[in-house]
Amino acid sequence: MSAKTPPKCPPEGDHLLLAKIKQAIGPAYLAHGVTPEGHLCVMVQADKIREVASAVKSMGFDHVLSLSAIDYMAEKKFVVTYIFASYLSPELKGQLLHVRTEIPRDNPKIASIADIFPSADYEERECHEMFGIWFEGNTHMGKRFLLDPDCCIDEKTGKPLYPLRKDFKVPDWGLMG
């Protein structure tokens, strides 16, 4: 039985930002799609994420609205999703730019963009706690920010567990059943 591979980007389509984005990010571009809400979604190379962030910033996007990850356990990879938006630029009003990138699940490391977009700092810390992705360059990696220091810790090894990974088992604290 072969599992159907879920699409990492929504189906392709035309978008007004597409030509500009392709020109700005250059060789980091892999694929693109348009979400049902009409936002552009680009798939980029994981090792070029800092160049992409700088290019996106010079286009006029001024903050990271959301940074999250999707756990594709069967395919052994994480898809990290950045959503950029703009407060100031009038022609980017109402536009959200999704930027997605794939990293391997057994060594989840990606460069931090917190110094380019300061609003990504807290999002990276949260993503690190929930998925165990290591954002290289962010000084808060390895520390607890949102989670209780005593919870989600492997009892045998004492290592932290990551609660939003698909293989995390919710401990029974008497709430269930």
**Chain positions contacting other proteins, by CB under 8 A:** 147-148, 150-152, 163, 168, 170-171, 173-176
Length reported for the chain:
177
Residue placing its CB nearer to other proteins in the complex, 136 or 150: 150
Q: Is 108 buried (19+), middle (13-18) or exposed (0-12) by CB count in 10 A?
A: buried
Backbone angles phi, psi at 61, to 5 degrees: -75, 130
Q: Is 116 buried (19+), middle (13-18) or exposed (0-12) by CB count in 10 A?
A: middle
Q: How far is the CB of 164 from other proteins (least distance, A)?
A: 9
Residue placing its CB nearer to other proteins in the complex, 60 or 163: 163
Q: What is the DSSP letter of 47?
A: G
Q: How far is the CB of 168 from other proteins (least distance, A)?
A: 7
Residue placing its CB nearer to other proteins in the complex, 27 or 170: 170
Which is it for strands 134-136 and 109-111: parallel, antiparallel or unpaired? parallel
Q: Find, among 30, 132, 159, 122, the residue nearest to 78 by Cα.
A: 132
* Cα–Cα dist 66/154, whole Å: 29
Residue placing its CB nearer to other proteins in the complex, 150 or 155: 150
Residue placing its CB nearer to other proteins in the complex, 136 or 146: 146
Cα–chain-centroid distance for residue 125?
A: 12
Q: How far is the CB of 11 from other proteins (least distance, A)?
A: 31
Q: How far is the CB of 173 from other proteins (least distance, A)?
A: 6
